[in-house]
Amino acid sequence: MAVSTLVFLGGLFFITIFGSSASPVPMDNCRYNLIGNMEGTRGCEVVHHDAYIAIYCDGKLSSSVRKILAKYTQYGCRQPIYLRLEHPRFPITPALFHGVQSRLYRLELWSLQSDIKLAQAFRGLPALETLTLQFNKTPRNQTLVLRQDLFGGLEALQLLRLYTEAVPVRLASGAFEPLRGLRCLYFSGENVECGCGFDEFTRWKAGREGRMLGEMPDRYIPGTVNQCSSTLQCRIKGKSSAQRNDECP
């Protein structure tokens, strides 16, 4: 409580005010606790930005990822989440993102094995705007099959980046149909199988030309601009798509 005192000096009156200093600004509970309490989250790092929270994990322990996301909820964090996993050694399922489904806006999965189970992995992520998937080949060089159930539930996704240079890829029928809100696609690959799925993808992409962008900035990360391009050529047994005789509907 402030106290004022009237003081007479040299014919002039001065008012002096004494009191406690202004109350300190409340500490950011999310920033302090999420970064300061990393117990049980080995292999993960948190970087707290004003507009979003970045979480980087090495992908060795699913328990670390679950724990850090649980702490995000526990400490009342509200910022959008950018989650990056390197070489995940565990299945990617909807349960992994429990509690943060409405906050996860950017997800990057790097160095995935082509035989990893991803079907329906991203269902229930209504806030997801950007998805990056980068695949490595397995010892047996298994073919990566992109099916419709991989992208199921991602109607709001705006940007998709697929890096498949290291693996043979087969596109199943309707694989990209769920991506109704997509505005930017980066798809790189040198070993995509020819077939009806590839032809369907080509038609799907051509039908969206007016809605697709050449590049797309990240609305939370200043200066980040994502390139959008997919110049794929299918090849099977060394032959290009122009040399095959598939009959597709």
* pLDDT beyond 70 at 18: no
* pLDDT beyond 80 at 243: no
Q: Which fold has domain 29-237?
A: 3.80.10
Question: Residue 247's pLDDT is what?
Answer: 58
Average pLDDT (194-209) is 89
* pLDDT beyond 60 at 179: yes
Instruction: Domain ranges for the chain, please list them.
Output: 29-237
Range of weakest confidence among 110-114, 178-182, 229-233: 229-233
Q: How far is residue 159's CA from residue 218's CA, in Å, rounded to a whole number?
A: 10
Give 197-200's long-range contacts (Cβ < 8 A, gap of 24+).
197/170, 197/171, 197/172, 197/173, 198/171, 198/232, 198/234, 198/241, 199/241, 199/246, 199/248, 200/171, 200/173, 200/174, 200/248
Question: Residue 249's pLDDT is what?
Answer: 62
Q: Which pTM value belongs to this model?
A: 0.82
Neighbouring residues of 34: CB distance < 8 A, sequence distance ≥ 6: 46, 48, 53, 68, 71, 72, 75, 77
Q: In the chain, what percentage of residues exceed pLDDT 70? A: 83
Query: In degrees, to the nearest 5, what angle opens at C-alpha 163 toward C-alphas 162 and 167?
Result: 120
Question: Residue 54's pLDDT is what?
Answer: 95
More confident residue, 138 or 17: 138
Question: Residue 66's pLDDT is what?
Answer: 94
CB 144, CB 119: distance < 8 Å: no
More confident residue, 242 or 117: 117
